[in-house]
């Protein structure tokens, strides 16, 4: 069979081959990874749909190919192998394709008729419309997708549908690190390089995560009319609140950082200023206001920046936010992150505070229209009740797209954010 590059994400129309995990002549089991393909800041492991033998490979590492192009030919087990007709060993590599036209951001899950094995020998039909992440969740929970009522667009089964069918809607979705997982994204460790000798240079191909970061940042700076607004906030009350919750955090086994408090303060500010929780459709010339609050957390990894997001952050407690932040960060840094965790963000926080710095001018995470830079908390003199005291002061850097957000609204938004951060008890009445 000819296996084509599937549609593996919202808005994905091409992918870069970063690493082949098989070679011609290798046996391959159904559902085991064959190739790593770079899409949207991460390397997706594409599994084999069938058990068989690799007959031919049609793309080289470093090549970018379009969705729907043939990646590999597989001789299925139990079927006669295709006669070999002088096929080249690294296998009829076509020239790199031209960039494909942009597509809509609606999810288009694969409809390949294959089956995914489960340890208890049950199978799940791929004729059901569902994303790889949803299929993995269904396998983990033992849910038959054929029996699940679909509520997604075009009859697509969603994660919520699977959880509802399992009766565990409140349960967190498992994030397996099994190498054959459909739902995870491999973030391999950075290649260690030696410093060139004096007078020498070393050229490193711009590819993989770094290439995607370069493309995304360049596009964002080229299209969005960036401006950055900086404000300071006295975080003393939150510093004390976090300190008082230390014992409870230890009991819950949760690492409680400042980010959950910042997210909780961010939500009412975004609700008051919805144009910051939006995106701009350049083609349609429409501003899209989002009803969801999916807060992206820019995460530093050994291969570069990855931005998973917390879905429905407005519905989660400080403890739930802290737990999810920890899980997402760990998934990014250890090498596995669910594809769906990288999609659908509405607003991003980038936090360099643990490293240092007074303030920054962060680049917007396209297609969003705003990003908040969180910086180091430092002891500084502040004025309280006309007295100079020592406070825990932090600078906030808000970059917004001036095509969508006016400067006055950005300033008012920051005032509301500071209002909640400086006195977190106000959140009770938000």
Q: Examine the pLDDT at 83 and tell me if it is beyond 70.
A: no
How far apart (Å, rounded) are the C-alpha atoms in residues 332 and 274? 29
User: What is the pTM for the complete model shown?
Assistant: 0.62
> Can you give the pLDDT at residue 170?
29
Higher pLDDT, 253 or 301: 253
> Can you give the pLDDT at residue 100?
38
Residue at token pair 């084999």: 48
Residue at token pair 């020592």: 390
Contact 235, 265 (CB under 8 A): no
Q: Examine the pLDDT at 404 and tell me if it is beyond 50.
A: yes
In this structure, what DSSP letter does residue 202 have?
A: -
> Can you give the pLDDT at residue 153?
56
CA distances from 285 to 103, 108, 220, 225, 330 (A): 15, 23, 16, 15, 38
Q: Taking residues 210-232, what's their average pLDDT?
A: 90
Contact 171, 163 (CB under 8 A): yes
How far apart (Å, rounded) are the C-alpha atoms in residues 333 and 189? 9
**Which residues are the active-site residues?**
402
Q: What percentage of the chain carries pLDDT values higher than 90?
A: 47
Phi, psi of 331 (to 5 degrees): -65, -40
Kindly report the number of other CB atoms within 10 A of residue 80's CB atom: 7
Q: Examine the pLDDT at 425 and tell me if it is beyond 80.
A: yes
> Can you give the pLDDT at residue 167?
53
Beta strand 347-351 pairing with 295-301: parallel
> Can you give the pLDDT at residue 406?
95
The whole-chain average pLDDT of the chain stands at 79
In this structure, what DSSP letter does residue 267 have?
A: H
How far apart (Å, rounded) are the C-alpha atoms in residues 11 and 102? 7
> Can you give the pLDDT at residue 80?
54
Residue 216 in tokens: 């995304």
Q: Examine the pLDDT at 86 and tell me if it is beyond 80.
A: no
The 10s digit of each residue's pLDDT in 113-172 is 333 333 332 333 334 666 666 777 787 788 888 788 777 655 667 766 776 676 533 222
How far apart (Å, rounded) are the C-alpha atoms in residues 43 and 51? 23
The 10s digit of each residue's pLDDT in 37-62 is 876 545 677 888 889 999 999 999 98
> Can you give the pLDDT at residue 163?
64
> Can you give the pLDDT at residue 212?
79
> Can you give the pLDDT at residue 201?
84
> Can you give the pLDDT at residue 359?
84
Q: Which residues pair with 64 in a beta bridge?
A: 16
Q: Examine the pLDDT at 63 and tell me if it is beyond 50.
A: yes
How far apart (Å, rounded) are the C-alpha atoms in residues 141 and 363? 39
Q: Which residues pair with 116 in a beta bridge?
A: 124
CB-count burial class (<10 Å; 0-12, 13-18, 19+) for 300: middle
Asked whether the CA dihedral 417, 418, 424, 427 is positive or negative, the reply is negative
> Can you give the pLDDT at residue 92?
37
The 10s digit of each residue's pLDDT in 92-112 is 343 333 333 333 333 333 333
Contact 366, 220 (CB under 8 A): yes
Residue 195 in tokens: 């410093």
> Can you give the pLDDT at residue 189?
46
Contact 30, 126 (CB under 8 A): no
Question: Which span out of 142-151, 177-186, 337-346, 409-418 was modeled with the highest average pLDDT?
Answer: 409-418
> Can you give the pLDDT at residue 12?
66
Question: Which span out of 188-192, 333-337, 375-379 was modeled with the highest average pLDDT?
Answer: 375-379
The 10s digit of each residue's pLDDT in 264-309 is 999 999 999 999 999 999 888 999 999 999 999 999 887 778 899 9
The 10s digit of each residue's pLDDT in 307-344 is 999 999 999 999 999 999 999 998 888 767 877 888 89
């Amino acid at each position: 069979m000819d296996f084509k590059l599937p549609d593996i994400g919202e808005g994905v129309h091409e992918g870069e081959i970063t690493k082949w995990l098989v070679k011609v002549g290798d046996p391959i089991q159904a559902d085991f990874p064959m190739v790593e393909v770079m899409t949207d800041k991460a390397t997706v492991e594409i599994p084999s749909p069938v058990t068989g033998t690799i007959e031919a490979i049609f793309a080289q590492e470093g090549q970018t190919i379009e969705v729907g192009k043939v990646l590999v030919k597989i001789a299925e087990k139990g079927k006669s192998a295709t006669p070999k007709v002088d096929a080249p060993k690294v296998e009829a590599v076509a020239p790199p394709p031209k960039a494909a036209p942009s597509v809509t951001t609606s999810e288009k899950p694969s409809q390949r008729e294959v089956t995914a094995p489960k340890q208890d020998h049950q199978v799940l039909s791929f004729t059901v419309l569902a994303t790889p992440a949803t299929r993995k969740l269904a396998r983990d929970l033992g849910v038959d997708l054929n029996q699940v009522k679909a509520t997604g667009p075009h009859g697509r089964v969603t994660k919520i549908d699977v959880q509802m069918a399992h009766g565990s809607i409140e349960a967190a979705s498992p994030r397996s690190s099994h190498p054959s997982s459909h739902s995870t994204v491999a973030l391999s460790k950075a290649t260690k390089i030696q410093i060139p000798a004096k007078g020498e240079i070393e050229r490193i191909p711009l590819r993989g995560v770094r290439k995607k970061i370069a493309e995304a940042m360049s596009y964002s700076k080229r299209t969005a009319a960036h401006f950055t607004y900086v404000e300071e906030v006295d975080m003393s009350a939150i510093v004390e609140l976090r300190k008082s919750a230390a014992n409870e955090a230890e009991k819950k086994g949760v690492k409680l950082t400042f980010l959950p408090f910042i997210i909780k303060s961010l939500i009412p500010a975004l609700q008051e200023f919805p144009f910051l929780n939006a995106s701009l459709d350049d083609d349609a010339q429409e501003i899209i206001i989002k009803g969801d609050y999916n807060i992206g957390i820019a995460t530093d990894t050994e291969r570069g920046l990855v931005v998973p997001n917390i879905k429905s952050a407005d519905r989660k407690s400080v403890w739930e936010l802290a737990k999810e932040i920890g899980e997402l960060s760990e998934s990014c840094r250890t090498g596995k992150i669910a594809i769906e965790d990288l999609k659908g963000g509405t607003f991003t926080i980038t936090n360099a505070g643990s490293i240092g710095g007074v303030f920054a001018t962060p680049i917007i995470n396209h297609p969003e229209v705003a990003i908040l830079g969180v910086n180091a908390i430092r002891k500084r003199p502040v004025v309280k009740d006309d007295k100079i005291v020592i406070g825990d002061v932090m600078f906030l850097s808000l970059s917004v797209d001036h095509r969508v957000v006016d400067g006055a609204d950005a300033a008012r938004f920051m005032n509301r954010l500071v209002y909640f951060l400086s006195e977190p008890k106000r959140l009770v009445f938000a």
